[in-house]
Amino acid sequence: MDTSNATTSFPIQPTPSQISIVDVFFPGFGTIFSSMQYLLAGNLDIYVRLLGICGMITVLGRYGFRYLMEFVETYFTSTVTVPHHDEAYDMLLTWISTQPFADEVKSSLASVGPRQRRVFAVDDSSGYKKKALTYAPWKGSFYFWYKNHLLQLSCTVKEGVFNPQEELRLSCIGRSPKIAKELLEEGRTEYLKRIQKKTSVFEHENGEWKKVVSRDIRPIATVIMNEDDKEALVKDIEDFLSEETRSWYASRGIQYKRGFLWYGPPGTGKSSFSFSIAGRFELDIYVLSIPKVDDSGLASLFAKLPPHCIVLLEDVDAVGTARTERPETPRSPGGSSTVSSGGGRSPGKLSMSGLLNALDGVASAEGRVLIMTTNHIENLDRALVRPGRVDQKVLFPLADKDLIFRLFCTIFKQLDGDQTIGKKDDDEHDTIERLAEEFASKMPSDEFSPAEILELLVKNKHSPANAVVSVAEWVVKARKERSKLQRENSWVQNI
Ligand SMILES: Nc1ncnc2c1ncn2[C@@H]1O[C@H](COP(=O)(O)OP(=O)(O)OP(=O)(O)O)[C@@H](O)[C@H]1O
């Protein structure tokens, strides 16, 4: 027999039916099996055979180990899976961050830059640190003991349609996930403690709500507006959220929701007041971005809202003509644009009927407070602002004399918990009021937004007297800049 031929052909070939039966129980085993038969047939050089057998043992060992692990996982462990976009993820990470082993997790993702919310370890314990590193769990797993149980935490990253989808899996031996649930409950309690006095802000991405940040609550007193309007709005929402009102709505079959429209020029406090309201009533805030949704996406996002929350729909006049991005305008210290926006619109994906359907849908009704804001109330569809969809409209105007006076006092009067910034010209309460009056008399009424005026005040935060002296020059400059921007905007609109 010619042995040279034996090395190029399999002497014993498993029949197709053999392979398929083996493969049913152990996928991929058929191939390994046929290779084994070939090796053991004795037609190979001794070293090649030894090498082959070692390789085979390694492959089989790995295969067997994986199979065993899968078998144990399927039949002898219970698992709780926590998707990345859900707040339960934060709860689990909060729990991990309180554990001594948090710093020893073997597989983590390190990053610098704006602090990510999904972190369990940060390398700066005392205040601000330049380029601080943060760590988050990443592809891998580790074991730890919890209440005398051995638990495994693993992070898996699946390639999603748009971007990788992370999830954490908490597994424990035994058929009951009770211990994992207890751990999550502990995480929840700790998490709630940490977000006290914070407003959680959610935004949407790829059809899911994701918490993007926890902001310090903004006290309502820091938003300077008509005090009667403010009080009436706070009372209205307080009444709406009460248990009696909830059952009143339920017993009459009316959808339990409330809608507001804040309107007025940019930088007048519409968003700020929405956040203050959220803080005042300990509600989370869900920010809808019109350019990022279409009709079906909006309906599904509304359906995923939790009960009792604020939905903030800014620049609602852009529906149907959603701006892909806001025109570039100077921003105030707080980030508001300072001239009326209007140019740069492109057809939007969200239609007015899509928005109306989502607002009328029952899915999200349970205690939902909808706040819509606009700079252009005159452009709004009347169907959108009819009672039932919008229960109250509130104007946020440009600053009048009274508002200018109060803004000045807010910036320069000493507040509880203030660490004095620099030397004050005069800390005396009545001196500040006298300067505030002078400042208000020099600043034109109903021409500038609170955001614009705050820009000047914050620039002079060390010296109220300087702020007063600078008004005249500032007004001239602000007017010039405004007309330049208006010219540019009209030029952009005409091309
Ligand atoms: N009435 C106000 N009282 C206190 N601060 C204000 C007021 N209005 C504006 N600001 C400040 O100006 C900045 C921008 O305000 P905000 O974003 O709330 O304005 P807006 O009316 O929502 O603007 P836009 O219409 O452009 O969205 C914030 O830093 C905010 O603190």
State the average pLDDT over residues 204-215.
87
Indicate if the pLDDT at residue 72 is higher than 50.
yes
pLDDT more than 90, % of the chain: 37
Quote the pLDDT of residue 160.
Answer: 64
Count of positions (residues) in the chain: 495
According to the model, what pLDDT value does residue 133 have?
72
| Assigned superfamily of 214-395 | P-loop containing nucleotide triphosphate hydrolases (3.40.50.300)
DSSP reduced 3-state for 375: coil
Query: Would you give the DSSP letter of residue 292?
Result: G
Ligand 1 pocket member 341 (CB < 6 A): no
pLDDT at 341 over 70: no
pTM greater than 0.80 (yes/no):
no
Q: Return the top range by mean pLDDT from 163-177, 258-272, 359-373.
A: 258-272
> Are residues 298 and 288 in contact, defined by beta-carbon separation less than 8 angstroms?
yes
Q: How far is CA 470 from CA 95, 422, 439, 462, 477, in A?
A: 52, 19, 9, 13, 11
Q: Is the shortest distance between the CB of 225 and ligand 1 below 6 Å? A: yes
Q: Ligand 1 centroid to 412 CA: how many Å?
A: 18
* Better-predicted residue by pLDDT, 106 or 424: 106
Q: Is the pLDDT of residue 15 over 60?
A: no
SS3 110: strand
- Mean pLDDT, all residues of the chain: 80
Q: What is the mean pLDDT of residues 40-48?
A: 69
305/122: higher pLDDT: 305
- For the chain, residues classed under CATH 3.40.50.300 are 214-395
**Global ipTM:** 0.98
The pLDDT, as a whole number, for residue 18 is 54
Q: How many helices (H) and strands (E) does the chain have?
A: 15, 14
Q: Is the pLDDT of residue 325 over 50?
A: no
* Residues 76, 96: Cα–Cα separation, whole Å: 24
- pLDDT, residue 126, reads 53
| pLDDT score at 24 | 67
Question: For position 196, what pLDDT does the model report?
Answer: 86
* Pair 338, 230: CB distance under 8 Å: no
Q: How far is residue 342 CA from its own chain's centroid?
A: 27
Above 90 in pLDDT, residue 405?
yes
Is residue 310 predicted with pLDDT exceeding 90? yes
**265 CA → ligand 1 middle, Å:** 10
- Between 128 and 398, the higher pLDDT residue: 398
The stretches of 257-336 forming alpha helices (DSSP H) are 270-280, 295-303
In angstroms, the Cα distances linking 43 to 8, 60, 172, 397 are 10, 22, 49, 93
Residue among 215, 225, 271, 461 whose CB has most ligand 1 atoms within 8 A, to mutate: 271
